[in-house]
Amino acid sequence: MMAPSAAWLGGIAAMTAHLSLKERADRRSLMQLFANHVSQPVADEIWRERATFLAGGRPRPQELTATVFFSDIEGFTTVCEALEPEPLILWLEGYLDAMVRVVAAHDGIVLRFIGDAILAVFGAPVARTTQAEIDADAERAVRCAIQMGRELRELNKRWQAEGLPAIGIRVGIHTGPLVAGSLGGLRHMEYSLLGDTANTAARLEALGKTVSMRSSPHCRIVIGEPTWTAVQGTVAGLPVGEMALKGKRKAVRAWLVLDREGEEVRPAAEAGE
């Protein structure tokens, strides 16, 4: 017969092992959603704060305020026509890898690639509780976009030396309320953003097509008014008009961010378009 103390210790060991297995399973689920495209500090924060947003091993739906980032390559169809399939994929992988590194370095989370487009978020899944935290996310997103433009300048130099096409990118950034959570089942699950904020970021990126100036030689960064309010004391920019949104009576004011530390900002026609 087992002594009571031994039985108690055995029960504790079994419970600890069970919790350890569950924790590993929960961490694996989270990392499948986030870890491939985040910095280690952000991954650690997600795990440390998991109790605030995790339920049943997956992120539960939550309302939060975050900054959504959407980027796209200008003239990507032309690039596709110029390259054979294998060189095209290798070229695109090099571009995406470089841009993901920049997003991660600014504590953003890349949620998915949509062809050549990148969707990222700053301020999720761990909800921000103060305006200062929300503003800091907005600034990180904008500085991320500026750095992407600088990184692209170096990539273009290398590509041109290798006989590959140089490109430009457009970035749309918007800060506001949204609903975030995991969609899908066991076979395929994604962390998704729902609501006007995500849609507005994508539309601000598209608005960049109509803006004649660039943020830097190879990049246009167009941001919405809430983001501009958060960063106007720390970055340069100029208003580029208003954008009407379906179902909204009030238009969204937009700004073009300027990289004052980069090369001289020039009209798109002079930049090679």
Instruction: Give the pLDDT confidence score for residue 158 in this predicted structure.
Output: 95
pTM, entire model: 0.82
Across the range 19-42, mean pLDDT stands at 65
Distance (Å, whole) CA 76 – CA 209: 13
Distance (Å, whole) CA 242 – CA 97: 33
User: Which tokens belong to 151?
Assistant: 């990184």
Q: What is the architecture, at CATH level 2, of domain 36-271?
A: 2-Layer Sandwich (3.30)
Distance (Å, whole) CA 121 – CA 46: 14
Q: Which tens digit of pLDDT belongs to each residue from 126-173?
A: 889 999 999 999 999 999 999 999 999 999 999 999 999 899 999 999
Name the phi and psi angles at 180, rounded to 5. -125, 145
Whether the Cβ atoms of residue 42 and residue 109 lie closer than 8 Å to each other: yes
Whether the Cβ atoms of residue 265 and residue 216 lie closer than 8 Å to each other: yes
Distance (Å, whole) CA 199 – CA 162: 37
Position 270 confidence tier, pLDDT thresholds 50, 70, 90 = very low
Least confident of 7-16, 71-80, 125-134: 7-16
Q: Which tens digit of pLDDT belongs to each residue from 181-237?
A: 877 766 677 888 999 999 999 999 999 999 999 999 999 999 999 999 999 989 999
To 5 degrees, how large is the angle CA 60–CA 66–CA 69? 110
User: Which tokens belong to 62?
Assistant: 């939550």
- The full set of domain ranges for the chain reads 36-271
- Report in angstroms the alpha-carbon separations of 185 from 57, 110, 188, 209: 12, 20, 5, 37
Across the range 261-268, mean pLDDT stands at 44
Whether the Cβ atoms of residue 220 and residue 214 lie closer than 8 Å to each other: yes
Instruction: Give the pLDDT confidence score for residue 269 in this predicted structure.
Output: 38
